[in-house]
Amino acid sequence: MTQAATGRPLLEARGLVKRWGAVVVADGVDLSVTAGSIVGVIGPNGAGKTTLLNILGGDVRPDAGRILLDGRDVSRANASRRARLGMGRTYQVPRPFAGLTAFENALVAAQQAGGHHGPESHDRAAKAIYDCGLASRANVTGADLRLLDRKRLELARAIAAGPSVVLLDEVAGGLTEGEVGELTDIVISLRGAGLTFLWVEHVVSALTATADRLICLSGGRVIAEGPPHDVLSDPVVVESYFGSPAFLGAAQ
């Protein structure tokens, strides 16, 4: 972790509630992400982690609650508006434009999500590609990129728009241990350059290597929050997420 957080809340959720029929997937969720920090979100399958990102990113409207981005209430803003206001997003399954090169993918993001045009959009796309370790693959089409490079591109497209905070959804999933290390190095570098991250992830080692704080969700509720070691050793978290201390040791 290369940069201390500033203490200023950049992204806040207050009392988020979302129901799908009788199923409650967000049950009064409160969270605060400080500028310059990396906050990890863990929890068992079905805990509501991706739904939380979808609510924060504007893809899903909550039934109740508020979302603040740098002090501005964006609860009613759609995903496009939130992107223009500084919220980036990646998805579990990379979604590149298969027929466009990596650079062109980042350029589309800079122009459409970020609202940048002309030389500025090209500069932002080129910097995002470079910062995410894709310079040597810039002219390779999305369809021809290996999984790690598609993950890098997913991140590059998010940052090309010029966000202040990025929502990461299991970007380490499916990667080898060495590839996870490469990806976490990129995230740490981007944080050092001033970005803030809220990172949902099942690869716990990625979060222990990067996160200042962890939040554990279960049944749509926050059941623990704090420094990674404290959260991961919390008996409630161990029982809810890992099932047993032995599994926790293997995950770390």
Q: What is the pLDDT of residue 4?
A: 45
Q: What are phi and psi for residue 235, nearest 5 degrees?
A: -55, -35
Choose among 16, 97, 96: nearest CA to 58. Answer: 16
Residue range 116-156, pLDDT digits in tens: 999 999 999 999 999 999 999 999 999 999 999 999 999 99
Q: Where are the domains of the chain?
A: 1-86+164-252, 97-163
Residue range 48-66, pLDDT digits in tens: 999 999 999 999 999 999 9
Residue range 224-241, pLDDT digits in tens: 999 999 999 999 999 887
- Please report which helix (H) or strand (E) contains residue 63, including its range: none
Q: For the chain, what's the residue count? A: 252
Beta-strand relationship, 72-73 and 64-69: antiparallel
- Class of the domain covering 1-86+164-252: alpha beta
For residue 252, is pLDDT > 60?
A: no
